[in-house]
Amino acid sequence: MKNPTVLSRPFFEQKSRAFWMLQGAGWGGYLMLRAVSNFSNRTFSFEDLIRVTIESIVGYCLTLLLSALYGYYRRVPRVSGVLATIATLFAATLVYAVLNAFTVSVMRGDPGIELPLILGSLFLNFTVLAGWSALYYGINFYLIVEDQTDQMRVLENQASSAQLAMLRYQLNPHFLFNTLNSISTLVLLKQTDRANAMLARLSNFLRYTLANEPTAHVTLAQEVETLKLYLEIEKMRFDQRLKPVFDIDPRTVKARLPSLLLQPLVENAIKYAVTPREEGAEICVRARLSGDRVRITVSDTGPGLIEGENRPSLSTGVGLTNIRERLAQAFGPDHRFETRSDPGRGFRVEIEIPFQIEEQAREAA
């Protein structure tokens, strides 16, 4: 385990401990510096050592009082706090100088307070206490900035999670609307057996997907299983016209991706490739490992995008935009999302994401 350093955040996790450590180290260093300074002048004596020791002890006690007062000043209005800090600093400097002068007079055997001794130590005492005060406020400002940074990070994570949940929740109502509409049609046509079967499969699909948190990442294997449940429902509608194909590299099955990321792409392929064509279309979901990247392709053999013609207006507009936003939330700029169309021959979407293994503790149910 590494020892905490003065400027690292863990050192200040326990503020009381950090204060006492810095207080002791600072005034211990001051005592050594004063002792070495007197020794270098070749006038060092035992009395001098006692004097600088008393001076350091007095400074130590004065700064403890200053820390209590400064802590109170930080809670008052800024201007009042600054003025109070300056006044307290000058008062502490004067008290420090008087006490030092009295100590010197006692060491000489003539107790008293002499003005020349006070004036002689004012500058040094002010420099020491002003430096201590600047360090005190500097460290506290640093800790405030760090706390605000941590709070901002927490708020950003919460906002990101909320946005991901919102994007995920856009998918289920979209899918449910289409499925329930199909079930309603089957009921109107008095095809109750097929309607009951579709309801049962819808129940299985919802049980599987709702077990996952909206912001959860799942493995590619889990995502494929979800797609197969979804396609079982759609197979009830399109029968042989829907031809799903899965070509998944076994090395990619543990790759992590946002849950229900691919379902809207398959749904769009069904709408724009299978629905408008009497012979239906093939929908292929392919995954390949390329170095440390996973490439996922969802393609169809439908009409693609034909110039001068728009695709049927069957979508709420959630699909591709939703996928782009969820990828940006999950991977930032470290992903690729492209759509390609071959008019008359098909449409495909290519996704490239980092190959990340989902830890067991974070895997969705």
Taking only the tens place, the pLDDT of each residue in 246-281 is 999 999 999 999 888 888 888 888 888 888 888 889
Q: Are 83 and 135 in contact, with CB atoms under 8 Å apart?
A: no
Lowest mean pLDDT among 5-19, 141-155, 221-235, 254-268: 5-19
Using CA atoms, how far residue 187 sits from 26, 184, 195, 196, 273, in Å, is 83, 5, 6, 9, 26
SS3 9: helix
* Under 8 Å between Cβ of 283 and 228: no
319 with 265: CB under 8 angstroms? yes
- Percentage of the chain surpassing pLDDT 90? 18
The residue among 358 and 364 whose pLDDT is bigger is: 358
pLDDT tens digits, residue range 172-182?
566 677 778 88
Please report how the helices 192-210 and 220-238 are oriented relative to each other, as an axis angle in degrees rounded to 10. Answer: 170
Higher pLDDT among residues 309 and 159, named by residue: 159
- Highest averaged pLDDT of the listed ranges 110-114, 176-180, 242-246: 242-246
For the chain, what is the mean pLDDT? 80
pLDDT at 139 over 70: yes
Q: What is the pLDDT of residue 319?
A: 65
Tell me what pLDDT residue 280 has: 86
Q: Is the pLDDT of residue 76 over 90?
A: no
Predicted confidence band of residue 357 (pLDDT cuts 50, 70, 90): confident
Flag the least confident range among 61-65, 208-212, 220-224, 286-290. Answer: 208-212
Residue 47 — pLDDT band, cuts 50, 70, 90? confident
CB 236, CB 273: distance < 8 Å: no
- Across the range 280-286, mean pLDDT stands at 92
- pLDDT, position 215: 61
Per-residue confidence (pLDDT) for residue 163, from 0 to 100: 54
| Predicted confidence (pLDDT) at residue 306 exceeds the cutoff of 70 | no
Non-local (6+) Cβ contacts of 241 within 8 A are 274, 277, 278, 279, 280, 281
Give the C-alpha distances (Å, rounded to integers) separating 132 from 43, 78, 305, 309, 313.
Answer: 28, 20, 72, 75, 71
What pLDDT score does 365 carry?
37
